[in-house]
Structure 1
Amino acid sequence: MRASADRVIDIAVCTRPFRPQGPRLEAERLHGKHLVHHYGHGGAGWSLSWGSARAVLPLIQAGVAGGRQQQQRIAVIGGGAIGLTSARVAQRAGLRVRIYCKDLPPDVPSSAATGMWSPDSRFCTEQEATPALCSQWEQMARSSFRTWQSLLGLPGDPVQWRDGYLLSDLPFDQDAGGYPVGEPDYPDLMARLPDIRPRSVLLRPDEHPFRQPHVRRFTQMMFNLSVYQRLLLEDFLREGGEIVRREFESPRQIAGLPEPVVVNCTGYGARALFGDQSLVPVKGQTARLVPQPEIDYALIYRGHGLVVLPRRDGLLVATHGEGDYGNADRTPDRGQTLAAVERVAGVYR
């Protein structure tokens, strides 16, 4: 793998919209509209998008039930992962959809996500993980998983299964640290999906090229987001969807929309727009290196907050560390990226 500072072609920062109590999936009447809230998925937005959109569909349909045919149009606010997928699920249910958004991919925060299947990433805190919430998560994860499998093999490979290597300085039965200091404890939700989670394999030193003494090979589903987002948009427009570029600064502005049902998919933006102070920003920075088609595997360096993914638009290097939790600053830190790239280069013998 060629990992060096001169091969960095892009650095992007996203704000993961985390709610300790889990995503907000509920409806209310506001300014004469049937408003459905659908946001707050932490780092699991893309992974859970299809299942979560299906979970809120009955709330959307409740707002249009009994209306005349011309009233069956709904509005979706937000053009990111949750907004686009909510629009597609509503279309599949026979509704006409208009998206209102300030930005579209690749200029939305969710475009800076890693693209790794991670449905349990900062979904909720351990303290808030009630049996009902965990069951809801499992339903959303399984529903999303089925849809992701249906996208395998399409042109451009929007979804792929890839092998990867989990590197560790310590034996895997010893704690190497998980999320950075200062973050809450999160539940082990993936234990609920043993049947759709391929097992990892412990490798001998002569079976891998890495310096670390402990290495496991795993198989992981990944998304080529640049291709997949384009596919979502094309499908949405082809089936009659409309897009209006508009920024909302107050909830009262939704009263002027012609649609009787509005789906709020504004992510972290809901904190300012709807006053949801439970939303916690979690900064995530990714960098893309010049594509290397010959690198077809992922790397995760346990305890170091380092992830490398072989996407079609470049080798993606993601890092996390102390100071990310509660941080809404979307200013790229080039020094952080260069340090991560140097660590990547150093894992090889």
Structure 2
Amino acid sequence: MSVVVFGAGVIGLTTAVELLRQHPTASITVVAKHLPGDQSSSDYCSSWAGANWISYEDKLGAQTGYEHVAFQRFSTIAANFARQSGVKRFPLRLVYDEDDVKKYGTEKIRQKWYEDLVSGVTEVKKEELPAWASLGLDVATIMINPSIYLAWLQSHLLEAGVMFLRRSYDHIDQVFDDFSTAVAIFNCTGLGARTLGGIEDKKVYPIKGQTLLLAEPSIPLSRMYMHKINEDEFTHIFPRPLGGGIIVGGVRLHHDYNDKPDMDLAERIKRRACELCPELGKPEDLKVIRHNVGFRPSREGGAHIEKERRHGKWLIHNYGAGGTGYQASWGMAQHAVDLFTKDVATRANL
């Protein structure tokens, strides 16, 4: 049984791993324009992610289902492969200001659907918060070093005999032509699904992100931090495991295609990061290694995970995660592969 995964971001790689788990004898090929290690394109945003696990959802639904599965998988990886995978269980402090409390209410902020999943959410003592903060919550969650994690996923796949090919396609039918023996193709093209011929999903659009990679401090940070400023800007501080430096950001700019870093924004990011985490020191003393810009592959209405028949074969879509690519990856992959396993493999008597 030959299957192709088109796309090698975190969604594509995770889909390939899940496909291998459910169908260990399948012949799997991952084909993509960008592969782990590439940092030359803002469109390949998996390399630019923070990354960590924290849900932004208030209500249970498909998204929280994906995130629930992903947290469990990441917890298992952290427990067994922390030194190889770049995945680590680590505290995160969520900080809310007076405007947040007025807008949402203290009780609503405290009520997290994932409280039992992460083994509790703890309120922070007032004296441990910045002077401007009204509420803080500590969560024991997951942080990820994407550079190591993506390479680890690829290494696992290569060891299992999965083939990787670097190719670029303008139309989905070209993939079917090149892999004529494949019984199914998984479309994990992210932002590319907007312009890919035969797909051209106009609900897909970019959400620009901008971060700074900082040098490792002399005293390692003891936690991650997050604080929302407004709808477009927020502060996050993520120390990456295994010597990956510290990522600080950021922004969520919808439909922004400018891949150049905003240096005024960079200064705001530095100032806010130091206000939120005094351990970083003064903004002018931060050692910036790199300014990063990436485009989150978002989609109106949420992620697109479904199957369709094309040229007598199966095309299974799995894209549109937006800024939740890592934290939903395993759940999205499981859903997509389940579509293949339950509705495709069984019918084909495979």
Tell me, what secondary structure is at the counterpart of 2:116? helix
Q: How many Å apart are 1:348 and its aligned residue?
A: 5.9
2:183 alignment partner in structure 1 = 260
Counterpart pick for 2:212 among 240, 265, 287:
287
Q: How many Å apart are 1:90 and its aligned residue?
A: 0.9
In 1, distance between residues paired with 2:87 and 2:133? 31
1:100 matched to 2:21: no
Is the alpha carbon distance of 1:168 and 1:255 closer, same or farther for their aligned partners in structure 2, counting shifts above 3 Å? closer
Q: How many Å apart are 1:100 and its aligned residue?
A: 0.7
In 2, distance between residues paired with 1:344 and 1:253? 46
Opposite residue 112 of structure 1, the aligned amino acid is W
Counterpart pick for 1:147 among 73, 90, 111:
73
Higher relative contact order, structure no. (Cα contacts within 8 Å, ≥ 6 residues apart)? 1
1:320 matched to 2:251: yes
1:200 alignment partner in structure 2 = 122
1:113 alignment partner in structure 2 = 49
Is the alpha carbon distance of 1:341 and 1:88 closer, same or farther for their aligned partners in structure 2, counting shifts above 3 Å? same
Opposite residue 174 of structure 1, the aligned amino acid is K
2:193 alignment partner in structure 1 = 270
Opposite residue 35 of structure 2, the aligned amino acid is L
Q: How many Å apart are 1:337 and its aligned residue?
A: 1.8
Tell me, what secondary structure is at the counterpart of 2:103? coil
Q: How many Å apart are 1:303 and its aligned residue?
A: 2.6
Q: How many Å apart are 1:326 and its aligned residue?
A: 1.6
Tell me, yes or no, if the aligned pair for 2:98 and 2:133 is still in contact at 8 Å: yes
| Consecutive unaligned residues in structure 1, runs of 5 or more | 1-71, 178-187
Q: How many Å apart are 1:168 and its aligned residue?
A: 3.6
Q: How many Å apart are 1:288 and its aligned residue?
A: 0.8
1:249 matched to 2:135: no
Size of the alignment, in residue pairs? 253
Counterpart pick for 1:232 among 153, 159, 170:
153
1:302 matched to 2:228: yes
Please provide the CA RMSD for this pair.
Answer: 2.7
Tell me, what secondary structure is at the counterpart of 2:173? helix
Name the structure with the higher helix share. Answer: 2
Tell me, what secondary structure is at the counterpart of 2:254? coil
Q: Deviations over 1:152-206 (max 9, x none)?
A: 14214622222233334317632289xxxxxxxxxx9x9543421431313122x
| Consecutive unaligned residues in structure 2, runs of 5 or more | 39-43, 279-350
Opposite residue 110 of structure 1, the aligned amino acid is S
- When normalised by structure 2's length, the TM-score is 0.65
Tell me, what secondary structure is at the counterpart of 2:195? helix
Is the alpha carbon distance of 1:281 and 1:160 closer, same or farther for their aligned partners in structure 2, counting shifts above 3 Å? same
Q: How many Å apart are 1:120 and its aligned residue?
A: 4.3
Tell me, yes or no, if the aligned pair for 1:308 and 1:318 is still in contact at 8 Å: yes
Opposite residue 82 of structure 1, the aligned amino acid is I
Counterpart pick for 2:98 among 166, 170, 178:
170
Counterpart pick for 1:136 among 62, 82, 87:
62
Opposite residue 89 of structure 2, the aligned amino acid is W
Q: How many Å apart are 1:112 and its aligned residue?
A: 0.9
Opposite residue 271 of structure 1, the aligned amino acid is R
Tell me, yes or no, if the aligned pair for 1:74 and 1:261 is still in contact at 8 Å: yes
In 1, distance between residues paired with 2:61 and 2:277? 41
Identical aligned residues as a percent: 22
- When normalised by structure 1's length, the TM-score is 0.65
Tell me, what secondary structure is at the counterpart of 1:342? helix
Tell me, what secondary structure is at the counterpart of 1:174? helix
Opposite residue 279 of structure 1, the aligned amino acid is V
Q: Deviations over 1:107-159 (max 9, x none)?
A: 231111111113547xxxx9xx9xxxx54334322222221111114214622
For structure 1, which segment, 252-261 or 162-171, has the greater mean C-alpha deviation from structure 2 after superposition?
162-171
